[in-house]
Structure 1
Amino acid sequence: MAKQTVAEQFVDILVRAGVRRLYGVVGDSLNPVVDAIRHALVTAGPSAPERPSWTRWRR
């Protein structure tokens, strides 16, 4: 299993905590977090019951 980045760990914690919305200004410093959110969406799949609503924009 590959090691997780800090951004991926951050997104995992947010999902487990039940976060449904994430606000912020996307830019250079947040690009790894945005990539981790996209990756979480792809790995969660459209039928995952714990899929956060803030991943819907990727559909």
Structure 2
Amino acid sequence: MSTSEMDDLRWDNNNHLYAIGNSSNKLAVFTVTPTSWSWVATYTVNKPLGLAVQPLPLPWQ
């Protein structure tokens, strides 16, 4: 992973941290626990506007 500026961070219910950089067009995903962290992946996102994380399954399903 490169050293890109990240503008927004979100967690899910499975120890994943999502970080998005608006100017870098990057979405980085990490696994984070109380004792460790690891990089999972980096994705290119064309002109991101924000970040939302929805745990699955959805309550109405």
- Report which of the two structures shows the higher radius of gyration computed on alpha carbons: 2
Name whichever structure is richer in helix by fraction.
1
Pick 1 or 2: higher relative contact order, CA cutoff 8 A, min separation 6. 1
TM-score exceeds 0.5: no
TM-score scaled by length of structure 2: 0.20
Name whichever structure is richer in strand by fraction.
2
